[in-house]
Amino acid sequence: MKTLVATAMYPSAERPAFGTFVRTQVESLRRIGVDAQPFVLEGQSRKLMYAQAVGGLRRRLRDEPDIQIVHAHYGFVGAVARTQWRVPVVVTFHGDDLLGSVDRSGRTTGMSRLVRAGSARLARHVDAVIVQSRQMAERLDGVDGVHVIPHEVDLDLFRPLDHAEARAELGLRDDRRYVLFAASPDIAVKRFQLASNAVARIHREWPDVELLVVHNEPQARVPLYLNACDALVLSSYQEGSPNVVKQAMACNLPVVATNVGDVAEVVGHTPGCAVVAGDEVAIAGALRDILADPHRTEGRSRVSHLGCDAVAARVLEVYEAVTTTRRAPTPSGGA
């Protein structure tokens, strides 16, 4: 089966961490026999980029008539994919495209309410929808063909490594206890200040505890940080299915996270991990318990079902279903 994977996020030399999860899925699909070909939307103006992509998509389908399906990642790209009716369209929603974007106070922004409504409408006019969590699926109540398939975790890349060797390679000190915040502090939904305040509370008691902020790193280096640190903190207002939590679990790193997306389901009752309320006292308390006696968890066994091949097989099942029975009608003469 030949699939065109349409996305506005894909890693490049300038932005090595941008859309790595899409590339991972492309590679996973290829390993199980799907001819997955990226169709990356590019342009200096993101507004013009989507409009320009409509013609590019039609040319691609014309030049490669063996393409059987278009799989779009994120709502805006899904709208581009649905401008054609020649082949079925699957859209994966990842989070804020269906849940809405929030500002630093946690309020959903006005523009994102429109985006959220547009995504819900789009979901009714494509052949299948993939979402990251049951919470997201609930936003599409009454829509047929909605599949909850969290993004995969590369268990070959994200695996336990020697703690001391990982620190040495990254140049981190042996006499420090590191809490990892793996996101840009500028992204409002991640609530960096909350994580920073929580760690500052502990630092006043234990000066060797530090918050380590990591983002825009090539994916190959991320496992080093997950193995070098003593805990991961995720303090977000909302998420779909945060990849870094699954990656941390695969490296047996203790996780302290707010109850967002599918975090509670992924973390479960794993000893050494905690799902807490979104306030600095609760986060600091859970981190303090972990840092009092740092040790690795058994998280890897809890995410084995989210390995690349297993998730790719579930995505392929969606492809096979929509190419057999298309839900979206084909307008007469539609291209």
Mean pLDDT of the region 58-77? 96
pLDDT higher than threshold 70 for residue 331: no
Domain 163-304 has CATH 3.30.300.20: no
How much is the average pLDDT of 2-29?
A: 93
| pLDDT at res. 333 | 42
pLDDT digits (tens, 9 = 90+) for 175-203: 999 999 999 999 999 999 999 999 999 99
Q: What is the pLDDT of residues 203-230, one digit of tens each?
A: 999 999 999 999 989 899 999 999 999 9
Predicted confidence (pLDDT) at residue 151 exceeds the cutoff of 80:
yes
Domain boundaries, the chain: 2-152+307-324, 163-304
Query: Average pLDDT in the 105-131 region?
Result: 92
Q: Do domains 2-152+307-324 and 163-304 have the same CATH topology?
A: yes
Would you say residue 46 has pLDDT above 80? no
Predicted model pTM: 0.91
| Per-residue pLDDT at 91 | 98
Q: Return the CATH number of the domain spanning residue range 2-152+307-324.
A: 3.40.50.2000
Picking from 216, 213, 259, the residue whose alpha carbon sits closest to that of residue 232 is 213
In whole angstroms, what is the distance from residue 216 CA to residue 184 CA? 8
The strand pairing partners of 276, in sequence order, are 258
Q: 173 falls in which pLDDT band (50, 70, 90)? A: very high
Give Rg (Cα) of the chain.
21
Q: Mean pLDDT across the stretch 105-128?
A: 91
Kindly report, residue by residue over 288-301, the tens digit of the pLDDT.
999 999 999 999 99
Q: pLDDT digits over 260-286, tens only?
A: 999 999 998 999 999 999 999 999 999
What pLDDT was estimated at residue 332? 43
98-103: long-range contacts, CB 8 A cutoff, minimum separation 24: 98/131, 98/136, 98/139, 98/140, 98/240, 99/135, 99/136, 99/139, 99/238, 99/240, 101/188, 101/189, 102/188, 102/189, 102/237, 102/238, 103/188
Residue 326, pLDDT above cutoff 70: no
Mean pLDDT estimate for the chain: 93
> What percentage of the chain carries pLDDT values higher than 90?
84
* Range with the poorest average pLDDT among 94-98, 151-155, 235-239, 271-275: 94-98
The pLDDT tens digits of the residues spanning 32-43 come to: 999 999 999 988
Give the per-residue pLDDT at 327: 52
Cα 315 to chain center, whole Å? 15
